[in-house]
Amino acid sequence: MSVRIEFSDLIRAMARRDWGAVDQLLSGLEKSGWGGGNQMISAAFAIAVNDHSSSAHSPTDVTRFVAETRTQFPGAESLPTLEMEALVRAALGEVGLIDNLSPEIALKMQIVFLGKLLQDRDPTETQLEEFIADVERTAAEYSRA
């Protein structure tokens, strides 16, 4: 199974709250070394954050969102709060905030945030498939750049 298909399946499993499938897919992706999956995760995270946030977001809005995420996802409490806020703000346009963020930590954060954002959105099957198609297009464009 290609990483793109596995990641699309991961998004579906997260949106459907199928945590057993999420764990299995994450394990498989980790074993494969992600092989291009970072672009997929980054694209999904950026699209979902921008869909979730208004253009008039504030640092306080981001702080509140990060706090909610940390309380809803057991794995999130071990992630550094300020870096989580910086990652969200970077996705919203303040790119320089993550210059020193480790790619491994950023990846973990993006997955946690993606789970939260998909749950909050609670997409229909049609909306979910449209989101996945958008993520795949964006990741493909980023890979060519």
* Structure confidence by residue, pLDDT tens digits, 20-63: 998 898 888 888 776 667 788 899 999 999 988 866 678 899 99
Q: Which amino acid is at 16?
A: R
- What six digits make up the tokens of 97? 């905030």
How far is it, in rounded angstroms, from Cα 31 to Cα 46? Answer: 24
Question: pLDDT over 90 for what percent of the chain?
Answer: 48
- What six digits make up the tokens of 55? 């253009």
Segments making up each domain of the chain, as ranges: 3-144
Residue 11 has pLDDT above 80, yes or no: yes
Average pLDDT over residues 115-142: 91
